[in-house]
Amino acid sequence: MLAAHVRQHPPHRIVNRDNTPWGPTPAADLQWTAAGEPWSGRFQDIYFSREDGAAESRHVFLAGNQLPQRWQDWPGERFCIAETGFGTGLNFLLTWQAWRTLPTPRPRLHYISVERYPLAREELQRALVAWPDLGELAAALIAYWPGRLPGQHRLVLEDGAVLLDLWWEDVAQALPDLASHGPQVDAWYLDGFAPARNEAMWSATLFPAIAALSRPGTTCATFTAAGEVRRGLAAAGFDMHKFPGYGRKRESLGGVLSSAAPAPPLRATPWDLPDTPTDPAASALVLGAGLAGCSVARALARRGLAVTVLERGAIAGAASGNPQGILYTRLSRRHAALTDFALQSFRHASSHYAGMFARAELHTGEDGELCGMFHLEEDADEFAALSAALTGLEDLAAGLTPGQAEQHLGLATALPGFWFLGSGWLRPTALCRALLEHPGIQVRSNCGELALAHEGGQWRARDAHGKLVGEAPVAVICAGHTSLSQAGLDWLPLREMPGQTTQLPASAASSTLRAAVCHRGYIAPAAGGEHCIGATFRPRERNVELRPSEHRENLDNLAAALPQWQPWLDALPAAELHGRVGIRCTSPDYLPLCGPAPEREAFLHAYAGLRKNARQIIAQRGPYMPGLYVNTAHGARGLSSTPLCAELLASQICAEAPPVSRELSRALSPARFLVRDLSRNRA
């Protein structure tokens, strides 16, 4: 009966939570047996075999997919495993352990796992104590663990040689979402709770999505030998076989996809996907050596590309040049693209920088410190609602009264607010230089004005004198508001937003500050005897002169947030203070622009039908300029947003599965503005 229905593709839904209440993912309902084993109260089933969970995982999933033998002769540069049901992470840790035993060179490991009910950090830690031989790897997983923050989370391990993508989603949405990008997977671990106890994880509608995500030759393995699972996978295109189960289980299932599966049907116009396939590139140009450019250069270099970074002036000399910046995010009562990206990128950035400090690429106190950040909240109703929504997300943030905040900050605040323990401050210039310290990156600064052109299949950059300063098949424009001058991108709706910071000399009063504070401005613990505070906004201005009036504005905003400092701050002579004016680059919807650059006229022609009916599905993929990408408009949140955007761009350039949902990647795409203009009949 099942096989008769499985040939029909499931509805292609992409993950979309817009306008639903924001809060943690559903709890796992983890319980513990008398023997200390993790047990799912929700599904009334064990997380791993009572006989020997690690041995069962190695037998069923690694041996069932012929791993690590397949890796030894693997012709590609990366090997992708997808898993249904992350659970305690045991399968991933065993796979990572096996991958580590291989001699180099070895394929990079990309592991994607979908889990609807992720464990809390403390639960994960308790569950993994049972495997002392995995202690080092388990500790790394726990350190990077995103908790129950909804969405998708990329963990970059082994300096990028191992990527772990955790999708905290319903599998019925996550797999079609991933499949919409095309085949990516080389092996499957089908490891949900038993089909009789968790029918949704083994639904007939999922098997075509599993096949659509798989390349020809992809293998699958599962502990179950249920007939409906075998028939469903066979109907989707897998050649299935039984092999001996582990322990008391007689049989398990394995399979191989013999030929390419049909693509899932369209349920949305694929304007965000380029109409020509991405060819593997050995090199790339990056225009701009600010946070955006340096982050994407490092992400590409980790994947083996030879990267040339071209900067018109000094490294981090423009909007990324402030002495201190805060790792910042904001909460919201409801899901939206801006909310979800802000929180997922913040979580990713926090782990990213923690790794850089741990590897001594950054030095605590000198280059920054993840000391936490307290964000004041003026709206009492908002504070109450969001404090309640954070229940279950205590490792992300917590609502605190001024008295509670004082225990973290070392001083009292005027208002309650939210404590973000993974936040802190960084020196952007030091961060940019650390990111560029990679053997695969070459930097050419002080190039002056650059012009980019596509010639003979290459992107070529020339200086003002016409001299060729770099060429590559791929180019990424990370030049802030000056991106408009490149390669026909003058239509992008970028906005310039100058703002002024103030250098505040440290004092006896400010020495008690132990963490960052965000209010209508920001301040962090002093570095080099000074605090960098600010910043003002100058809408519709391009003037970059320092103004004493804006120094006073920064001081007054700080005094309102920390009233015990008011006498000291009022006494400071604003006209004698130093500071800096930088021009932030923003977009109309406050999201960055991150993705391939569309060919504007061809794009407008291809999707002209949207002018009359914005809801119609046009099957054509988008016309994009070959090998050209944009990464800009990070505004005042570049420390938070640029690491995840770098991973998204690197995945697009290298034809990898993306680190975010299709909905989020569409929300970041530069082409979104053309689609909006068409749907409003403005283009």
Cα-flanking dihedrals φ and ψ of residue 609, to 5°? -60, -20
Higher pLDDT residue, 8 or 241?
241
pTM listed for this prediction: 0.96
Q: Is the pLDDT of residue 56 over 80?
A: yes
pLDDT tens digits, one per residue of 216-226: 999 999 999 99
Higher pLDDT residue, 6 or 78?
78
Task: Of 445-449, 469-473, 540-544, give the lowest mean pLDDT range.
Answer: 540-544
Task: Of 174-188, 527-541, 604-618, give the lowest mean pLDDT range.
Answer: 527-541
Query: Hey, is 16 helix, strand or coil?
Result: coil
Read out DSSP for 199-251?
GGGG-GGGHHHHHHTEEEEEEEEES---HHHHHHHHHTTEEEEEEE-STT--E
CA distance 152 to 509: 42
pLDDT tens digits, one per residue of 344-379: 999 999 999 999 999 999 999 999 999 999 999 999
CATH 3.40.50.150 fits 20-257, yes or no: yes
pLDDT tens digits, one per residue of 584-637: 999 999 999 999 999 999 999 999 999 999 999 999 999 999 999 999 999 999
Q: Is the pLDDT of residue 13 over 80?
A: no
pLDDT for the residue 14: 63
pLDDT for the residue 1: 27
Give the pLDDT mean for 98-119. 96
Longest dimension (CA), the chain: 82
Task: Tell me where in the chain the CATH 3.50.50.60 domain(s) lie.
Answer: 283-319+430-494+588-680
**How sure is the predictor about 279, in pLDDT bands with cuts at 50, 70 and 90?**
confident
pLDDT tens digits, one per residue of 204-214: 889 999 999 99
Give the pLDDT mean for 197-201. 85
pLDDT for the residue 597: 98
Cα–Cα nearest to 523, from 549, 503, 547, 509: 503
pLDDT tens digits, one per residue of 105-115: 999 999 999 99
Q: Is the pLDDT of residue 7 over 90?
A: no
Query: Hey, is 623 helix, strand or coil?
Result: coil
**How sure is the predictor about 194, in pLDDT bands with cuts at 50, 70 and 90?**
confident
**Class for the domain spanning 283-319+430-494+588-680:** alpha beta
**How sure is the predictor about 572, in pLDDT bands with cuts at 50, 70 and 90?**
very high
Query: Hey, is 64 helix, strand or coil?
Result: helix
Share of the chain above pLDDT 70, in %: 98
Would you say 459 and 471 are in contact if contact means Cβ atoms under 8 Å apart?
yes
Share of the chain above pLDDT 90, in %: 86
**How sure is the predictor about 265, in pLDDT bands with cuts at 50, 70 and 90?**
confident
Q: Is the pLDDT of residue 148 over 70?
A: yes
Those residues with Cβ within 8 angstroms of residue 143's Cβ, 6 or more apart along the chain or in another chain: 351, 354
Tokens at 507, concatenated: 């004092």
**How sure is the predictor about 9, in pLDDT bands with cuts at 50, 70 and 90?**
very low
Task: Tell me where in the chain the CATH 3.40.50.150 domain(s) lie.
Answer: 20-257
Task: Of 109-118, 276-285, 551-560, 592-601, give the lowest mean pLDDT range.
Answer: 276-285
CA distance 76 to 121: 34
Q: Is the pLDDT of residue 6 over 50?
A: no
Higher pLDDT residue, 183 or 1?
183
* C-alpha atoms less than 13 angstroms from C-alpha of 10 in its C-beta half-sphere: 24
**How sure is the predictor about 577, in pLDDT bands with cuts at 50, 70 and 90?**
very high
